[in-house]
A and B are shown apart, each in its own frame.
Chain A
Amino acid sequence: MSAKAIVLYLHVHQPYRIRHYTIFDAGNKHDYFDASHDSPTSNERIMHKVAEKSYIPTNKKLLELLHEHPEFKLSLSITGTVLEQFEKYSPATLRSFQDLVATGRVEIVGETYHHSLAFFYSLAEFEMQVKMHREKIEQLFGQTPKVFRNTELSYNNDLAYWADRAGYKAVLSEGWDPILGWRSPNYVYRPTYTNQVRLLMKNYKLSDDIAFRFGDREWEQWPLTADKFTHWLSETGDATNFNLFMDYETFGEHQWSESGIFEFLHDLPKKWLQTAGHSFMTVSEVAECFDPVDQIDTPQTTTWADTERDLSAWTGNPMQQQAIRGLYELQTNIIKSGDLQLIDDWRKLQTSDHFYYMCTKWFNDGDIHAYFSPYDTPYEAFTNFMNSYHDLEFRLIEKGFEV
């Protein structure tokens, strides 16, 4: 019986959503993220809702599984912006994550503090945000991230090269067919132009069976049980590790409790571990355990979003490009200002979600983008963002900078 591991990796994130912010607010109020409690963009209200539906019940289940199955392990990435909001709005949620990590079988993955696309716009800013995130994780969880994932699983050769130099054991990326070619995502790889770092590529078919299709009654495999799922994995001869990467909020928020997602999670370790040779591994364990079977060349940027698997959901239309470029053009002056509040607000505006809300792809179809947006239209998201941007300019002028 060959050895096979499930690598379960969940991504935890909430942005600071921008409130309805007009050109008349610019220069008067700098509270971009403080929507009133009944507004669709109230970060506090959303945090309470997601904590109740997802974080609290899922962590309870995960802790139970960790106690019940000594071989159960998982990896998490938790952004700085969501950690701050746990501290502010839901300390119980933060404690429940700390309880998970205290078992010693939950590994935290490194990323940018602000869930930003800084890597593609400013390396200095990117490295600062990675450092901030590392320090936050060390402070709250007593762990130093050894594996790296960039925002939205965005990845290319440059990122691999950077992660290699920074001493990470592995980087996570999308197991996208045009990159893999005939190869399988179910192995450990080595990025080209690197020495030590390993590449773990998401098995998007299996991951999306859980994350997207689980509750879909039109899907021919519905209902998906842990029995059926682990059977598929067992039958896959061509594999050492199954990289199941998804948003944490899959559990209870994207797939509601009524869909049976928690029962599925409950049964998964038991069913999988029934067979000798089956195991769970964290991301750094799998990178150390298996030798790379090949090298992977990724000259273009891939992400885990949309059918394009590129950055077009964030930077595909001119509004998004104008907004994100404008923001990074302010960098030099913002940093020079030394105003910590100003720098912090600027960084919160870098969170990729702001640009995602401006996406106009399939806007008319009301698809997944609309589902995740607190705004009625991408134009509204853009307007609120640009007015906040103008207020940053105003604050720089007040500090004596020329804009």
Chain B
Amino acid sequence: MLGWELPPHNSGGLGVACYHLCKALSKKGVDIEFVLPYTAEHDIDFMRINSAHPQDVEQVLKSGIAYDSFKYVKNSGEIEYIDIFGQSAIYEQAIERIVEYAEFDVIHAHDWLTCRAALRAKELTGKPLIVHIHSIESDRAGTNGGGNSLVREIEGTSMLLADKIIAVSEHTKQAIIREYAIPSEKIDVVHNSFDTANLITSEADSAYRYISAMKQQGYSVIVNVGRLTIQKGLTNLLHAFQAVVERNPKTLLLVVGSGEQYYELLSLAAQLGISKNVLFTGFLRGKKWRDAYAVADLFVMPSVSEPFGLTPLEAIGYGTPVLISKQSGVSEVLRNCLKVDYWDVDEMADMMAAVVRNKALGDVLLANSKQEYDVMSWDKSAIKLFDVYHTQREAVTV
């Protein structure tokens, strides 16, 4: 299996999904060799983790954005400059070496960064290739047909050459068909899930003393957790939130995350006259991150396009009802939540105001969503994937 990250070194949901999928697959007896682009310690015993290159995770993260070049030191001490495409190429070279000695039946690659390596592995070994799409370039760019053209080329080519494509949602499957004209039959949807056992229960004393004090004063709290980027639809959220504050001044919006839209959102909140009500925390981990969910009365995910979206499930786990955009994969599996088109600012405001004003609504939403949540399991996703593996292996060994 070819992946780009695993917890605790993940920058987003990709690593989390890979971790849980592999764990559930291993329970079904699948023997996994997981190749990462970096070397790190993992507390993982259900699969072998292989490092494609002796570099620490910071080196990969530094290369984060396409076209950025950063200083990079080789083992020999030689210095060169490398960008995210360079990282992808190094990964590809390492995979070439690994497939020479490794024994496996199926190549399973996650997202575009591993795709060049996956194609090379298929070329060298003739083994079936499954490309697993957690997000595509148009999602990340926040516009249909948008994004980095090199990335689009890699995505398109690898999906054309793949034997099977897995999409994390129907939303993503439709996006793949729209963006790359891939035949529908070639794409299976395997929804992400949520491992409820993995939830760390929040400690009693909240990290948000100020917000807790404000709640004592009758304030309600709405929270968003995610990168501050166009894809996440946060400008619409601020406009909607302004309408909520007009009707219900004792409302706070907690925005958790960092990203290139930070200054823009800070300025927009000021322009809308709601600076006092909007709190930005920056990027968080650990207790502060967990408590952000727990302190809120409503979690909102207003994404323009969200391939799946784990955060609403985390919110439910921490006892907070959710409002999500219809343009998200998670809205396909979650029933007991509020759903809104990301562009419908008025409706979004109405729904937020309804929960803020009517505690019973939030309570019922939470209680029912909690029932859905409790039966969620990655095992169902693993069963589907296991079948795909089986079919693909059969197809080749004839």
Question: A-side interface residues toward B, CB under 8 Å?
Answer: 22-24, 26-28, 317-319, 321-323, 326, 360, 377, 379, 382-383, 386, 389-391, 393-394, 397-398, 402-403
- In the bound complex, do residue A23 and residue B281 qualify as a contact, i.e. CB atoms below 8 Å apart? yes
What B residues does A24 contact at CB under 8 A? 207-208, 281, 288
A389 to B275, CA, bound (A): 11
Q: Known contacts A326-B276, A386-B276; is A377 also within 8 Å of B270 by CB?
A: no
B369-397 residues with Cβ-Cβ distance < 8 A to A are none
| Distance to closest chain A CB from B204 (angstroms) | 16
- In the bound complex, do residue B210 and residue A26 qualify as a contact, i.e. CB atoms below 8 Å apart? yes
Report B179-221 CB contacts with A as 1/0, cut-off 8 Å: 0000000000000000000000000000111111110110000
What A residues does B217 contact at CB under 8 A? 397, 402-403
- In the bound complex, do residue B210 and residue A394 qualify as a contact, i.e. CB atoms below 8 Å apart? yes
| Distance to closest chain A CB from B172 (angstroms) | 34
| Distance to closest chain A CB from B257 (angstroms) | 13
- In the bound complex, do residue A398 and residue B213 qualify as a contact, i.e. CB atoms below 8 Å apart? yes
What B residues does A403 contact at CB under 8 A? 214, 217
Known: A318-B275, A326-B276, A393-B214. 14 other contacts (CB 8 A): A23-B210, A23-B211, A24-B207, A24-B288, A26-B210, A27-B213, A317-B270, A319-B270, A319-B275, A322-B270, A383-B266, A389-B276, A390-B276, A397-B217
Q: Known contacts A318-B271, A321-B270; is A23 also within 8 Å of B213 by CB?
A: no
A27 to B216, CA, bound (A): 13
- In the bound complex, do residue B275 and residue A379 qualify as a contact, i.e. CB atoms below 8 Å apart? no
What A residues does B214 contact at CB under 8 A? 393, 397, 403
- In the bound complex, do residue A390 and residue B210 qualify as a contact, i.e. CB atoms below 8 Å apart? yes
Q: How many A-B residue pairs have CB under 8 A?
A: 70
A321 to B266, CA, bound (A): 13
| Distance to closest chain B CB from A339 (angstroms) | 16
B140-193 residues with Cβ-Cβ distance < 8 A to A are none
| Distance to closest chain A CB from B212 (angstroms) | 8
- In the bound complex, do residue A322 and residue B275 qualify as a contact, i.e. CB atoms below 8 Å apart? yes
Residue on A with the closest CB to B252? Answer: A390
Interface hub of B207, B214, B266, B288 (most chain A Cβ within 10 A): B266
A379 to B281, CA, bound (A): 13
CB of B67 within 8 Å of the partner chain: no
A28 to B205, CA, bound (A): 12
Interface hub of B212, B262, B279 (most chain A Cβ within 10 A): B279
What A residues does B279 contact at CB under 8 A? 23, 390
Report B91-125 CB contacts with A as 1/0, cut-off 8 Å: 00000000000000000000000000000000000
| Distance to closest chain A CB from B209 (angstroms) | 3
What B residues does A379 contact at CB under 8 A? 262-263, 266-267
- In the bound complex, do residue B209 and residue A318 qualify as a contact, i.e. CB atoms below 8 Å apart? no
What A residues does B216 contact at CB under 8 A? 397
| Distance to closest chain B CB from A380 (angstroms) | 10
What A residues does B211 contact at CB under 8 A? 23
Residue on B with the closest CB to A377? Answer: B263
A402 to B216, CA, bound (A): 10
| Distance to closest chain B CB from A396 (angstroms) | 10
| Distance to closest chain B CB from A60 (angstroms) | 44
| Distance to closest chain B CB from A47 (angstroms) | 30
**A-B residue pairs, 7 tightest by C-beta:** A27-B209, A318-B270, A322-B275, A27-B210, A26-B210, A319-B270, A318-B271
Residue on B with the closest CB to A401? Answer: B217
